[in-house]
A and B are shown apart, each in its own frame.
Chain A
Amino acid sequence: MSKEDLSIGDEKVTADDFIQQQNEAADIVSKIESSVKITDADKKKADARAKDELDDAQEVMNLASDLSAFISDK
């Protein structure tokens, strides 16, 4: 983007500002995408749950509470 392209707007805004804003948003997006790492402890918990013999109601309650705990951990 040339200086002329920006000339009708705020004269203090430069092409570099525009690129910086785009990069800032892209950085946040990639941080969010890489924010959740599955650990060995998570896998162990999941394996232990898979061995539980539960009725439907208990399974539903466990799924909800395990998801809440997982979100809090991350």
Chain B
Amino acid sequence: MDLLDAIAGGGFGVGTFTMIIGNPGTFKSALMAQTIGAGQKKYNGRMLATYHDSEHSMTQDRLSNMGATRPIPKVYSDVTVENVFQTIECVAAFKQLRNIIDVPAVVAWDSIANTSTAKERTTDDINQTIGLKARLLSGLFPRYIPKMAKNKISLIAVNQLREKLDMGMFSQPADLQHMGNKDIPGGQALKFNAFHLLHLRNRGDIKFDQYGFNGIKLEAHFVKNKFFQPNIPVMLIVDFNTGVSNFWSNYQFLCDNKRIKAGAWNNFESDALKNSWRTKDAKEMHENDEAFRIKFDTEVKETIDREIIVKYSVKK
């Protein structure tokens, strides 16, 4: 995904921990599935992937719809904190056994908020397990972050948001900028150890009449990013059936940056083609009209370079 890659600083880091956060219905799971699909495409299928789904929201059909097809990853629905990390341990051992350390692997965890520890599942006295998940994660992450880096295993996890409790003059200071009055469950270790922390927000509906599909607009920005400057917002366009659309997100980006003049009929601002089109026909034109495709792709590349890469890079 061109825009997401640009604000990430090239993509999610191999061998790191990435956390995707947002309110319900912000396509966090879909984006995680699409990330697996994009990785499989990039590495021509030579990428290991497992999907841990404590929310029972992901199926192999849905993974396939989101582009994770080479092959469709196995979905594990019996998920505890312990067995997510046991899977990382297994993947590391498997890679060493097969001498394939360089083959990247993704362990997808959906979601941290909805996953219990083994003891939480079985205890009769819930008071005995208060804080156990956070304590466990604060013990696990410092051990597993180096192991993941060494073995090129990326942990990508979805997490929910919760409101911060305001206690008047004793309110907590903001520990992460750009998250507003929100926090994430699971303890501080998650924030300390996240290499990328991506926040998604719903910014309204996509109308079928205009685009030819139903979906939503998502605003995405990195609250934490160790590859590139954080807090650069971009708008992603989501199709309910296929997830975040690279083409339509780029299209919206060109409209927002006045490279496409949008209206009942649209055209490029710097138009040598002198073509006009209706919005819902744009994708078909991109697929079938070579001149349009070249012009569109060039505009996208130049605009991303100018509005994101150059604008936010370190000036030397």
Chain A residues at the B interface, C-beta cutoff of 8 Å: 21-22, 24-26, 28-29, 31-33, 35-36, 38, 42-43, 46, 49-50, 56-57, 59-61, 63-64, 66-68, 70-71, 74
Contacts and interface: CB of A to CB of B under 8 A. Distances in A.
A69 to B, nearest CB: 10
Interface in B285-316: none
A29 B131 contact: no
Contact of A43 (B46, B48, B97): B97
Interface string B84-118: 01110111111011111001000000000000010
Contacts of B136: 25, 28-29
Nearest to B142: A29
B87 to A, nearest CB: 6
B82 interface: yes
14 contacts: A21-B131, A24-B135, A28-B136, A29-B136, A29-B139, A29-B140, A32-B89, A35-B89, A36-B93, A60-B46, A61-B71, A64-B74, A67-B50, A71-B90
Which bucket holds chain B's interface residue count? 35 or more
B132 interface: yes
Interface of B: 44-46, 48-50, 70-71, 73-74, 82, 85-87, 89-94, 96-100, 103, 117, 131-132, 135-136, 138-140, 143
Nearest to B49: A64
A71 B85 contact: no
Contacts of B45: 56-57, 60
Given A33-B143, A57-B45, A21 B135 contact: yes
Contacts of B138: 25
